[in-house]
Structure 1
């Protein structure tokens, strides 16, 4: 890149010895040259002191205001120098000679000396045979307009290095400061209507009055809503001018009074993790923006989506010399950006934090990295790379996987997506069912042979013997809630109606704004309305509609069901209470006085005291991962031996916890209290999971279905509860057979009068919805608008819609 001065916009350069020599040699042969260096006074020395030192170094002459003097003469006469005298050391006098290598070496040596003596400055005086003499100044300092710039290097452009990181936020992109969203919580209000929250009180309104009364003088629209103000007007509110003191000045005033408790409390109310004011969240030092390629700095580029950056580099035109230097680097950049686009991540910006990526996005970035490194003879094992991908993007993913194969690699994919299966050379089908009923190799061969066999659920779904049926009729709705003016991230000020009492699906290609709409707007806004707390501030005008029809809201995500290894499915659905009661009611238990708590591994009493009911003991390794060994006392059974003497139908409590849900339902067939609580786990396709299986070992999809099952358990929700359930891609990790079970469970919630909203790419879920809301048309800046609202039957009539094109194959 090239550095440009922020003052004049001029290119910043530094001169080297060859630049100066080339300049001299550009004149006709025989031209006389004087190589000069400005005299720099050091260590409070006088000019005469410097001259003495110069003589000792071998210099004989200096130039004062264009006239040459012998240093010896000046010292003898004790010359009196004036302040305005421009003194230069005459380093060398020479003549331009062509094809004289010795002369060139002498000239280069003199120029080098000039740079050293002149502290980076060298003056060349050209004395032609005819005409006036000319003088040119050269500098080996990287400076322009009186500003010294840092020379670009690799570390200069990385926030992981202290040299390149923003000095204010230390490369984190955020600082603890005044949060704009807390100061101006409602962006729909104008300044006059009280948009600035801390200035609403009677005491602090004195800060607002000068702005209201003087706004007309500098043409400030006090009646325009905050979000309609342009950036210059918003900045003015914070910085202020001669007519009023801005919000920044107000908070500085509060800080100056922070010795008083009321001011400290007020300050804390508006503090939060805010975008760094210096680097604007890019995490790089400010002066990196002075280095540009084709008028774009690295800061400009990292804020663009990948597909736009890719276009920028494809269209980049460099001069011949720069092209030769950058050719290899540009090829690498273009390849890596192309792979990121191919795996469906073109909507992401380069400065996106890894912590904000979904599991599928993170996995696809790693896949693109592998492709970029062009490894051969490697084995790639991918676990559901299609997670979070729209069918349109799955096609690109398949082409990427085939490209990996073409390079000479082996690719093994764990996958449920039909399109990925159909692209495979070999299908390995494990089953026939899950848990204890699985683990067998059912089939190995190509997809065509599998389709012609009736060997497994996979085969039967692929050849159409088994299928997820389309609902015979869609549920009608009249009541709804509506979000008005959604403009978070890439949403384009849209209004969205969510029907109540039905199953709705939010669709759209990756990056179209689905998660933004549901996770960042609907969930926090509705939670606050229902009296809950949510710390995020959503960019939306208001929420309207039949809000009284919802008693509370549940976001059923894929986070673990518990924070410790002690939590498990049986305790989550509250079935373990009845099991413990059952064991405490046994004759031997009553004789020994064992209460239900004795059959819990979470409290003292019946649990093994050696491992505290964990079944394993932890050995802490100082520099490695901790080791977990089976407890020697209880042999992994978690309870004391005397507790294990209590049996029900010849089974102790430890054996019960080792049962799968399916086995437990058969075992507790006559006990309605227990079976009613366990049955929903089987209904959502978790019959293979053990009752006491640690939540740490459950996948995201399994954890989500355990949560769903807990809501289906009788008594866990009150009869008059009307809950709005939100699911984010619940089909993650699910086979067709399990998706069918999931749909039955979701519809069971709707039949109970609840509302279900799902973010989903899976066509089986979309075709089963009562209502579809499609966002798009593409990802990133090209998304964020409503492309369609209606039933699946209406959607398939759309032309040119990405989702509708794939849905046509399912809805006939």
Structure 2
């Protein structure tokens, strides 16, 4: 769906050759030492003939405004070409299913190594079955440890089960005192249905001559060994004989004879052997070489790594097949309404959970935090190093697990439990988890492509991230990092800035060189790097003091005063008060939120911001509003707690009439979703085309002009414009549909035009072009105004959401709400208002773009609504009326309110933000 920029558009890009840039003395010594990745004539989306040099073995930062082509360059060119080259190394027979893999459109692509793309979106969008332990591949190391060192414990008898080989039994006999007499035997059933005469004759024919009668009811041995000639054997009531294979004396036996007798007893006894001696406790000891419980005879499986994966048939619950849930007919269904009664939703079979290591099963180990598991694994490693008693495979598995855990801890994720579903992770946590798994993999010589790794991170966390990226680079990796954070840009070896604008106004190189050279360049990022404190946040306005006067937009416009007024809440203005908030690391905290104002919830990543706002507060307000609007409006508005999330009370909801949550993630996950659908104009476009004369003549309904209808869409690509290629064990790739050429519709549907444009042409228009085209369609224009205000004018109406960058997807979600819910936003100043909860409003945005989003959000309190936003960026404190900071750390060290009040730098020592918040003038 990409459109090539017109050749008449000038492209004044400062394309300095890499060699020329290295001639001055400011270049990093690593740059150029390992060669270059040379790109010439790159054409992809808004990249039109791009020429670029990127040093290998270095950290390359790509920055620029949203929509400038950063993700296209990193993911669709560098990563795609690196993956294609890796596949080209396969034998021809293995590449038969991959021959249609397309090469990025470029004149020359040289020096690009095998690439891997790391994005938190992959982890967050994964199913609930994907946990942190799985995404960092820690489960594999734990499975190996459990298979080698785990002990099978019968859950009913609590008896440890350990198979013993003939060699193990020989070592056990060596511990008997010298001169001890003992016998080796195996069991034979002689119950009421067994002909004992035939049994004796059979055993005699095999060479055996003695037995020991054993009565299970009395659980004792006869006081003497019987020969086969003893006629009393045929009369006794015992149900089992222990046939003697050999009788030996400790110290005088032949080791080879003893080992052969033990092997015979185990083989003839079906894996069960008994050693009889007066020197043993109870006169005998039983030994098995299978996994049967000696008390209840329940059979277990031998611990092997596949036994500990619910995705493997060996380890999956046999009823739910590893999904944990069942539908109404009792069939496995991950979205079923009933929890599997066999595994209780744990997805593993009972034999898997019977294996225990340090008296805990695999799931109990994964319930530990990163720090707790690290501590538990360190103790055995230290002890084994001294005794050298651990097998090489066990040592290797422990070291692999510790490498992953150490990397997670270094990235500030030591507080996370390893069984936390990835979809419940904050964006910053998921990014670092993906990176930790890649760093701990031990691979070298690769090209790692990272998309917005600083998203959702506090400056304290960004320092850890920068150190981890530096260590990865020093290990011989090549890094391409798409990001806007100035600290990450300064730490890079080479910087590429794309721009100068978005969409057709972007896709050009406005700078390439070292960070020192960037600080001297007159570009948006260059000015930020040179003087980061000059404009610490793009919205230079200072929010005014809330008063009793009716809110209006002018009160919230950019203030021209040089000093910031003190925030003093008038006593008659209402507050929203939440007490006893709990969930995850929140432990009964109390917060106050000024209604009609803008509150920022901040703190380090993992402090509990998302849990407080999107889990506890959202649930409490939604339940209170529901009760208020229902028939029991006079009832106690406090809802009951569910799972681990709850609270004691909430006050002030009577002043609210609605709740709107704008959280992270793409607006819609369907591959057919596009901006036109998110903005609510897809139906209008279909009706416009259905009203044309040709459509009426042919009888085409409006549905035929939507890619969801089988009547109008291309039957080959199902309206996607691309076909998916299955690369077996590699991620799937997409290629342009050979039938429709990416148009997505059947040829006869494309015959219908509106203003000389088909539906495919309309969907290929940018939002700005669509706004101009539909000037006589006020409903469509009204819904396109919000994305224009948020700087999304470069997006195409039919562009797949999967192609959007994080910043674009974030703003499109906000624009979609503002466009489709104008009544919820543009209300008068009279009556109750709505509460808006927004997660990380500046995700994926260049600092030059912050003002567009923040000013638009600022208009909500200007209309009397209440806005609560979460952000890890302390620079945004000056944008808010009220600040709530959680901390002081992450996980168990967080979840507390360490500051609550108007936005000013606090002297509280525990406040992380105080070190990173620009000084605000005091009144």
The TM tier, using the shorter chain, reads: 0.7 to 0.9
| Counterpart in the other structure of 1:801 | 911
Higher relative contact order (CA 8 A, sep 6+): 2
CA contact (8 A) 1:430 1:439 kept: yes
Q: 1:511 to 1:688 in 2, by over 3 A?
A: same
Q: 1:57 to 1:739 in 2, by over 3 A?
A: same
1:425-574 to 2 correspondences below 5 Å: 425-454=493-522, 456-464=523-531, 468-476=538-546, 477=569, 478-531=573-626, 537=642, 539-541=645-647, 544-561=650-667, 569=675, 573=679
Say whether 1:340 aligns with 2:408: yes
TM-score normalised according to structure 1 size: 0.73
CA contact (8 A) 1:15 1:138 kept: no
CA contact (8 A) 1:566 1:694 kept: yes
Q: 1:49 to 1:482 in 2, by over 3 A?
A: same
C-alpha distance in 1 between matches for 2:212 and 2:786 = 98
SS class of match (2:860): helix
Residue of 260, 284, 307 corresponding to 2:371: 307
1:777-788 to 2 correspondences below 5 Å: 777-788=888-899
| Counterpart in the other structure of 2:243 | 89
1:347-746 to 2 correspondences below 5 Å: 347-357=415-425, 360-454=428-522, 456-464=523-531, 468-476=538-546, 477=569, 478-531=573-626, 537=642, 539-541=645-647, 544-561=650-667, 569=675, 573=679, 611=713, 628-629=737-738, 631=740, 644=753, 646=755, 658-662=764-768, 678-691=784-797, 693-695=799-801, 697-709=803-815, 716=823, 717-720=825-828, 722-746=833-857
C-alpha distance in 1 between matches for 2:915 and 2:294 = 58
SS class of match (1:49): helix
C-alpha distance in 1 between matches for 2:738 and 2:307 = 48
| Counterpart in the other structure of 2:199 | 50
Residue of 740, 757, 770 corresponding to 2:868: 757
Q: 1:121 to 1:634 in 2, by over 3 A?
A: closer
C-alpha distance in 1 between matches for 2:339 and 2:921 = 46
Q: 1:567 to 1:657 in 2, by over 3 A?
A: same
- State the Cα distance separating 1:740 from its structure 2 match: 1.9
| Counterpart in the other structure of 1:107 | 258
- State the Cα distance separating 1:627 from its structure 2 match: 5.1
| Counterpart in the other structure of 1:766 | 877
Mark the runs of 5 or more structure 2 residues left unpaired by the alignment.
1-149, 214-221, 329-334, 547-568, 631-638, 728-733
C-alpha distance in 1 between matches for 2:763 and 2:311 = 48
CA contact (8 A) 1:62 1:89 kept: yes
1:658-692: CA deviation from partner (whole Å, max 9, x where unpaired)? 55445666889999987765443232121322355
C-alpha distance in 1 between matches for 2:803 and 2:506 = 18
What is the Cα-based RMSD across aligned positions, in Å? 4.6
Higher-helix-fraction structure = 1
- State the Cα distance separating 1:629 from its structure 2 match: 4.9
Q: 1:577 to 1:375 in 2, by over 3 A?
A: closer
C-alpha distance in 1 between matches for 2:273 and 2:686 = 91
If you compute each CA radius of gyration, which structure gives the higher value, 1 or 2? 1
1:228-247 to 2 correspondences below 5 Å: none
Say whether 1:34 aligns with 2:183: yes
Say whether 1:152 aligns with 2:303: yes
- State the Cα distance separating 1:524 from its structure 2 match: 3.1
SS class of match (1:775): strand
TM-score normalised according to structure 2 size: 0.65
Q: 1:37 to 1:369 in 2, by over 3 A?
A: same
CA contact (8 A) 2:500 2:506 kept: yes
C-alpha distance in 1 between matches for 2:451 and 2:657 = 39
C-alpha distance in 1 between matches for 2:685 and 2:362 = 62
CA contact (8 A) 2:278 2:284 kept: no
1:118-197 to 2 correspondences below 5 Å: 118-126=269-277, 135-140=283-288, 142=291, 143-146=293-296, 148=298, 150=300, 151-166=302-317, 170-174=321-325
